[in-house]
Copies of this chain bind each other. A is one copy, B any other.
Amino acid sequence: MEAQSTLQVFVNGDFVPAQQAFLHISDLAIQRGYGVFDFFKADKHKPLFLNDYLERFYNSASLMYLPVPYTKDELRQILQKLISLNNLEESGVKMILTGGYSENGFDPAAPNLIIQQQPLVLPSKEKVKKGISIITHEYLRDLPIVKSINYTTGIRLLHHMREQNAEEVLYFNSGIITEFPRCNFFIVTEDNTLVTPAHNILKGITRKNVMALAAKKYKVVERDITLQEVKQAKETFLTSTTKRILPIVKIDGEVIGTGKPGPITLELLQDLMALEQEVLAETVR
């Protein structure tokens, strides 16, 4: 708690204490929910898989016609400075690019860039050991390939989710599974093939890493998955930057597989943690 009160935030060129990080109400995120963001992990002073996250951030911005006010190299330097100022052990770094201070409350202006860093809260070992319950909901995000700030549906469903004692909500569209508001989805089929949705999703960096790791040992396929198929899967799990791999043991009240985290799921989690350590060891700062 002590540490958090002195954290620095980057706002449009300045490093300011988090308590003093404000945007004027004419910002298009406040007026019209218009903006993009991205989020990566840093271990001590080293960002993990930063190239991939920057690539996606610039791509989201471009698809929303929001020019990032810095080159990738300049942004890297800003990120490195923020991370060194805050000096956290394990953290999450969030970059938000909004539609800017709009004169008429609708037309975008020069984008505002905010970069926040916070201590990372990983899922507990207990949670990984037990697995989680999820529910499903029919919904398709506006522009799935863009990491926009629009979470209207995801946040509105929090009430419904908690009423059902679920930890996440999995979206589907016309019977085909897509993604979670903030995570990707995988199943392990009867013949030990890893399958993950191919269309109408945000392509997660952890999803990409897990696919590469899994491909060393198993068959990995990107394709449509039906809601029905999910409930017959041997194992299911989600992937995300903060959650890494989290086993799913119940969907819409139905037990998946044995009702316990599956061996392939747990094996891939070990592989992912090993990969992170490997990448961290590569460059000693």
Interface residues of A (CB under 8 A from B): 9, 11, 19, 21-25, 27-35, 64-65, 94, 96, 98-99, 105-108, 114, 116, 139, 142-143, 148-156, 158-159, 182
With a CB–CB cut-off of 8 A, which chain B residues contact A22? Answer: 22-25
- Identical copies of this chain, number: 2
Are B155 and A34 within 8 A (Cβ)? yes
Are B32 and A30 within 8 A (Cβ)? no
Task: Select one of B23, B27, B158 contacting A107, CB under 8 A.
Answer: B158
Q: A22-B22, A65-B159 are contacts. A152–B31 as well, Cβ < 8 Å?
A: no
With a CB–CB cut-off of 8 A, which chain B residues contact A148? Answer: 33, 152
Among A24, A28, A30: residue with most chain B CB under 10 A = A30
Q: How far is the CA of A142 from the CA of B143 in the complex (A)?
A: 12
Q: How far is the CA of A156 from the CA of B99 in the complex (A)?
A: 10
With a CB–CB cut-off of 8 A, which chain B residues contact A31? Answer: 96, 149
Task: Select one of B9, B99, B106, B153 contacting A25, CB under 8 A.
Answer: B9
Among A22, A154, A182: residue with most chain B CB under 10 A = A22
Q: Lowest 10 A-B CB distances belong to which pairs?
A: A33-B33, A22-B22, A32-B151, A33-B150, A33-B149, A21-B25, A29-B30, A150-B152, A150-B150, A34-B155
Q: A21-B24, A25-B96, A33-B150 are in contact. List 4 more A-B contacts (CB 8 A).
A: A30-B98, A30-B149, A34-B152, A99-B155
Q: A65-B159, A156-B64, A156-B143 are contacts. A151–B23 as well, Cβ < 8 Å?
A: no
Nearest-neighbour CB distance to chain B for A58, whole angstroms, equals 17
Are A155 and B106 within 8 A (Cβ)? yes
Q: How far is the CA of A9 from the CA of B26 in the complex (A)?
A: 11
Nearest-neighbour CB distance to chain B for A43, whole angstroms, equals 20
Task: Select one of B107, B114, B143, B159 contacting A30, CB under 8 A.
Answer: B114
